[in-house]
C-alpha cells in the first residue's frame, strides 16, 4: 500500500448523508467537513492556526497559483507543500480549472498540472477538468464532458501519477443526464474522490435547484465507495442540504472573502457588519471586543477577526449537521435551514423528483420521532418508503366483517384504543383504522415507526398529507372498504363506544346485544389475538414476505404456540416459542426453557430477530431474500458472533436497506448469523472498509438459540 493511499470508511448513514473517516497520509479526516481554501499569497488565517485552533485536518490550495510564481513554485518543489504552508494535516490541491474558465488567456497543460501536484507531495490532487461556462448549449457541454473524461483517463495512468490519489470532477453543466453519464464513466476510473464541479456560477446566482439536480444526477452514477466533494459550497446556510444530498467534503474561501467585505455568515444568510445590532454571542473571535470597537478598527485589523468568526460559524454548522446525521434527523434540519431563503426552499421541494434515488439509502426507522413541519415540504424518504410498504404489504386481519375508523391517539395502542378494539370484536371481527396525520393507518401498525413515532401540528391531519390529498396511503383504505361496511367515528365522546357498537350491529344485520352480555371492562383485556395482529403486521412491513411471516407466527392467531411477553405499558416486547398450557398466554415472566424468537424495540416498534426466528424465515423465504452472503474465509468468525465487514460480502438482497434485519449466510446458503445491515445494498461490494452487518447472534455461539 502506498504512503499516499486515500481510503474512505463510512461509519454512519442517514439517507444519502454519511459520517465517515478519510484515511490520508497525514492523518484521519472526519467527514463531512470543510476544506478551507488557503491562498498561498494571502493567508488570512495561518494554516497552523487552522489546524491547532479550529481543528481543521485538511485544507485545499490552488496548484495553478503555486506554479505561477517562480519563488513559490521552487519552494513547493524543494520543501514540499506541507512545509511550505506550515500545515501538519492533509492537503488537497485544486487544478486551476476555475481560473481557466474565468480567464481565457490561461491554458495550462493537464499532464503538467498533475505532475506538479505529484511532485510537491499533496495528499490529493485534482485532474484539470473543463468547466462549461454558464448554461452552455448541450453540444458544448457534451464536448466539455468528453474532454474532462479524456484528461482523467490520461492522468490516472500509474506512470504519470505514481502514488498520487486523484480527484476526478463531474461536469455536465445544467443537464442532469450529462452529469449522470459523466459520473458513471468516472466511476470506472482509478480516482479516489469525485468533486461536483461547475456549480459556483449556479451558487452565485442562487440557482440552488440546479445545484441539487446536478448533485443527485451525479449520485446516480458515482462509485458508492468514494467520497463526494462539492466545489465552492462552504456557506453554512446550505451545508445541511448539501450533506443531505450525499456530499462529504466542501471547500470555500467564503470565510476570508466575506470578511474582506465586512460580511458575517449565519445559517440564514450573510449580514454586513454595519447592519448588526450586536455581535454574535459566544463567538471566540470576538472575545474582549464589542461591536463599536470592531467597527472602529482598520480593515487590516478587523478582517482576520471576521474571517475567524466566519470559519467558526461554518464549523459550528457542520458540527450540527454531523450530530443530525448520527441521530437520523438531517432531513428535519435541512428542511429548517432551507426555509431561510426562497431559492433554497424551492430547491428543497425538488427532492420529490428524486425520491427513488434518495429512498434507496433511507433507513426504515430512527430512534427519534419524525417531526412533521412545513406543510409544503416533500415527504422524507423513509415516510415514502413506509407508505409504499403499507399499500403493498399490509394484510387485513382474517375474516374481517367491517371497518371502523377512529380519531388519532398519540399514544400507540393506548388503553382507550385497546378498549375500543376489544369491544368491537365482541360484536364482529372488525378492522380498526386510525385517522393519523399520515393518513389512514391500521391500529395494529401504530406501534411501528413512523406511524406511532411522529409529532405533527394540531392541524396537520387536515393538511397536505391527509386522506384524499393524493399523498396519503389512500389505496389501502380503498382496497379494504371496497365491499365492506365502514363506520367513521368523530370523537371519543361519552357513549360513543356503545353507539358505534350498535351502529355496527345495525350495518351487519345483527341482533341487539342482550342484557348481561360482555362488559366494556372485559374488552380492555390485552389479549393474545391483538398481540398476534401487531406481530403479524409488523413482520409483514419489515420483511415483505407473507410466507416468512406465517412461518413464524402462523396464518391465524391459533396456529403457532407462542408466548407473548408484554411490557409495563401493555405493549408487546418479546415473543417466545412455548409449549403446553402457556401457549398463547401473556406473561412478564417467561417460563424456563422457552425459546426466544424475537423482540420488538421500544423506540420504533420494529422486530429484532433471534436465531430461532431467523431459521424459520430462511426456510420459508427463497434466496436471495433477506440474505447477506459472506466469504467462506470468514465463516468461522461470523459463526462466533463477529460482525461482517464490507470487504467480506459476496452478495446481498438488493431490497435490503440500512437498518434492516438480515440473515448472514455462506455461499451454500447455510445460516451463519442474524443481525442488522449497516450500509445500503448498492454500497456493498463498492465500499471496502467499515461494517456491513452488525451481528446479534452467531449460529455457532452457545446459547444462540
| Euclidean distance between CA atoms 331 and 329, whole angstroms | 6
pLDDT above 80 for 163: yes
Cβ–Cβ under 8 Å, residues 693 and 635: no
Question: Mean per-residue pLDDT for 586-608?
Answer: 80
Q: What is the pLDDT of residues 270-299, one digit of tens each?
A: 999 999 999 999 999 999 999 999 999 999
Q: What is the DSSP secondary-structure string of 272-334? A: EGGG-SSPPTT-GGGTT--HHHHHHS-HHHHHHHHHHHHHHHHHHHHHHHHHHHHHT-HHHHH
- Name the residue with higher pLDDT: 223 or 387: 223
Q: What is the pLDDT of residues 106-116, one digit of tens each?
A: 678 999 999 99
pLDDT above 70 for 477: no
Residue 1's pLDDT is what? 39
Q: Which of 235, 212, 207 lies closest to 343 in space, CA to CA?
A: 207
Residue 480's pLDDT is what? 63
Mean pLDDT of the chain: 89
Nine-digit cell at 521?
Answer: 371492562
Handedness of CA 267, 268, 273, 277 (dihedral sign): negative
Percent of the chain with pLDDT over 90: 72
State the pLDDT confidence band at 589, using cuts at 50, 70 and 90: low
pLDDT above 80 for 334: yes
The burial of 251, by beta-carbon neighbours within 10 Å (0-12 exposed, 13-18 middle, 19 or more buried), is given as buried
Residue 689's pLDDT is what? 86
Question: Mean per-residue pLDDT for 19-27?
Answer: 96
| Euclidean distance between CA atoms 13 and 411, whole angstroms | 29
Q: What is the pLDDT of residues 603-653, one digit of tens each?
A: 999 999 999 999 999 999 999 999 999 999 999 999 999 999 999 999 999
pLDDT above 90 for 57: yes
Percent of the chain with pLDDT over 70: 90
| Euclidean distance between CA atoms 323 and 328, whole angstroms | 9
Q: Which domains, ranges and CATH numbers included, belong to the chain?
A: 7-356 (3.20.20.105), 370-519 (3.40.50), 526-621 (3.10.450.90), 622-705 (2.30.130.10)
Question: Mean per-residue pLDDT for 402-416?
Answer: 91
Beta strands in 304-418 (DSSP E): 370-371, 402-407
Q: Which of 560, 558, 621, 628 lies closest to 595 in space, CA to CA?
A: 560
Q: What is the pLDDT of residues 658-677, one digit of tens each?
A: 999 999 999 999 999 999 99
Residue 378's pLDDT is what? 85
Residue 520's pLDDT is what? 45
Question: Mean per-residue pLDDT for 404-429?
Answer: 91
Residue 521's pLDDT is what? 44
Q: What is the pLDDT of residues 480-530, one digit of tens each?
A: 656 789 999 999 999 999 999 999 999 999 988 765 444 444 444 457 889
State the pLDDT confidence band at 156, using cuts at 50, 70 and 90: very high
Residue 465's pLDDT is what? 38
Q: Which of 493, 475, 382, 487 lies closest to 433 in space, CA to CA?
A: 487
74 in catalytic set: no
Residue 464's pLDDT is what? 39
Residue 579's pLDDT is what? 57
State the pLDDT confidence band at 469, using cuts at 50, 70 and 90: very low
Residue 582's pLDDT is what? 44
| Euclidean distance between CA atoms 467 and 550, whole angstroms | 30
Q: What is the pLDDT of residues 335-384, one digit of tens each?
A: 999 999 999 999 999 999 999 999 889 899 988 888 887 767 788 888 88
Residue 455's pLDDT is what? 87
| Euclidean distance between CA atoms 705 and 699, whole angstroms | 8
Beta strands in 463-550 (DSSP E): 486-488
Nine-digit cell at 505?
Answer: 350491529
CA 309, chain centre distance (Å): 30
Q: List 661's β-bridge partners, or say none.
A: 676
Residue 5's pLDDT is what? 79
Cis before 614 (ω within 30): no
Exactly one of 94, 129, 144, 697 is catalytic; name it.
94
**DSSP secondary structure letter of residue 26:** T
Amino acid at each position: 500500500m502506498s504512503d499516499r493511499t486515500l481510503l474512505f470508511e463510512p461509519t454512519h448513514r442517514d439517507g444519502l448523508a454519511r459520517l465517515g473517516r478519510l484515511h490520508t497520509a497525514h492523518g484521519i479526516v472526519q467527514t463531512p467537513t470543510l476544506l478551507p481554501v488557503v491562498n498561498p499569497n494571502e493567508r488570512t488565517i495561518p494554516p497552523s492556526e487552522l489546524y491547532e485552533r479550529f481543528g481543521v485536518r485538511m485544507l485545499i490550495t490552488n496548484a495553478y497559483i503555486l506554479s505561477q510564481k517562480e519563488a513559490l513554485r521552487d519552494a513547493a518543489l524543494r520543501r514540499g507543500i506541507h512545509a511550505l504552508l506550515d500545515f501538519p494535516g492533509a492537503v488537497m490541491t485544486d487544478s486551476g480549472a476555475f481560473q481557466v474558465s474565468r480567464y481565457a488567456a490561461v491554458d495550462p497543460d493537464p499532464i503538467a498540472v498533475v505532475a506538479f501536484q505529484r511532485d510537491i507531495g499533496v495528499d490529493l490532487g485534482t485532474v484539470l477538468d473543463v468547466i462549461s461556462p454558464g448554461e452552455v448549449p448541450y453540444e458544448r457541454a457534451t464536448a466539455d464532458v468528453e474532454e474532462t473524461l479524456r484528461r482523467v483517463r490520461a492522468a490516472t495512468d500509474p506512470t504519470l501519477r505514481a502514488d498520487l490519489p486523484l480527484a476526478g470532477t463531474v461536469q455536465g453543466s445544467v443537464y442532469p443526464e450529462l452529469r449522470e453519464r459523466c459520473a458513471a464513466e468516472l466511476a470506472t476510473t482509478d480516482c479516489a474522490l469525485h468533486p461536483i464541479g461547475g456549480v459556483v456560477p449556479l451558487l452565485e446566482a442562487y440557482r440552488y435547484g440546479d445545484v441539487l439536480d446536478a448533485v443527485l444526477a451525479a449520485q446516480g452514477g458515482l462509485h458508492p465507495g468514494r467520497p463526494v466533494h462539492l466545489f465552492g459550497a462552504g456557506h453554512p446556510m446550505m451545508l445541511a442540504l448539501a450533506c443531505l444530498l450525499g456530499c462529504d467534503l466542501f471547500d470555500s474561501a467564503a470565510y476570508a472573502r466575506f470578511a474582506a467585505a465586512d460580511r458575517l455568515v449565519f445559517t440564514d444568510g450573510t449580514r454586513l457588519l454595519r447592519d448588526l445590532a450586536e455581535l454574535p454571542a459566544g463567538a471566540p473571535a470576538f472575545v474582549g471586543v464589542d461591536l463599536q470597537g470592531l467597527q472602529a478598527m482598520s480593515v487590516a485589523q478587523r478582517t482576520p477577526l471576521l474571517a475567524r468568526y466566519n470559519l467558526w460559524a461554518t464549523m459550528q454548522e457542520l458540527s450540527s449537521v454531523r450530530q443530525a446525521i448520527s441521530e437520523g434527523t438531517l432531513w428535519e434540519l435541512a428542511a429548517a435551514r432551507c426555509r431561510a431563503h426562497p431559492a433554497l426552499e424551492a430547491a428543497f421541494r425538488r427532492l420529490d423528483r428524486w425520491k427513488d434515488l434518495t429512498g434507496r439509502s433511507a433507513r426504515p426507522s430512527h430512534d427519534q420521532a419524525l417531526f412533521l413541519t412545513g406543510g409544503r415540504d416533500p415527504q422524507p424518504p423513509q415516510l415514502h418508503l413506509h407508505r409504499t410498504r403499507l399499500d403493498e404489504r399490509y394484510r387485513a386481519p382474517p375474516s374481517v366483517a367491517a371497518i371502523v375508523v377512529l380519531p388519532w391517539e398519540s399514544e400507540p395502542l393506548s388503553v382507550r384504543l385497546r378498549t375500543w378494539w376489544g369491544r368491537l370484536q365482541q360484536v364482529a371481527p372488525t378492522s380498526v383504522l386510525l385517522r393519523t396525520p399520515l393518513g389512514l393507518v391500521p391500529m395494529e401498525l401504530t406501534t411501528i415507526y413512523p406511524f406511532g413515532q411522529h409529532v405533527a401540528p394540531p392541524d396537520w391531519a387536515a393538511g397536505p398529507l391527509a386522506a384524499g390529498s393524493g399523498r396519503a396511503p389512500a389505496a389501502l383504505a380503498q382496497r379494504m372498504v371496497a365491499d365492506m361496511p365502514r363506520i367513521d367515528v368523530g370523537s371519543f365522546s361519552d357513549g360513543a363506544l356503545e353507539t358505534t357498537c350498535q351502529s355496527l350491529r345495525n350495518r351487519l344485520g345483527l341482533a341487539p346485544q342482550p342484557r348481561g352480555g360482555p362488559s366494556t371492562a372485559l374488552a380492555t383485556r390485552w389479549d393474545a389475538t391483538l398481540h398476534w395482529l401487531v406481530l403479524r403486521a409488523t413482520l409483514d412491513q419489515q420483511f415483505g414476505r407473507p410466507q416468512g411471516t406465517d412461518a413464524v407466527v402462523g396464518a391465524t392467531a391459533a396456529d403457532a404456540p407462542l408466548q407473548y411477553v408484554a411490557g409495563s405499558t401493555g405493549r408487546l416486547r418479546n415473543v417466545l416459542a412455548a409449549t403446553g398450557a402457556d401457549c398463547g398466554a401473556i406473561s412478564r415472566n417467561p417460563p424456563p426453557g422457552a425459546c426466544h424468537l424475537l423482540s420488538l424495540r421500544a423506540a420504533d416498534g420494529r422486530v429484532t430477530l433471534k436465531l430461532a426466528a431467523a431459521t424459520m424465515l430462511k426456510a420459508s423465504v427463497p434466496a436471495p431474500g433477506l440474505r447477506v452472503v459472506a466469504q467462506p474465509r470468514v465463516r468461522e468468525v461470523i459463526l462466533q458472533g463477529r460482525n461482517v465487514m464490507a470487504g467480506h460480502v459476496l452478495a446481498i438482497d438488493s431490497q435490503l436497506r440500512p437498518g434492516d434485519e438480515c440473515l448472514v449466510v455462506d455461499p451454500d446458503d447455510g445460516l451463519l448469523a442474524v443481525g442488522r445491515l449497516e450500509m445500503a445494498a448498492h454500497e456493498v461490494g463498492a465500499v471496502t472498509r467499515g461494517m456491513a452487518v452488525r451481528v446479534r447472534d452467531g449460529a455457532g455461539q452457545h446459547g444462540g438459540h
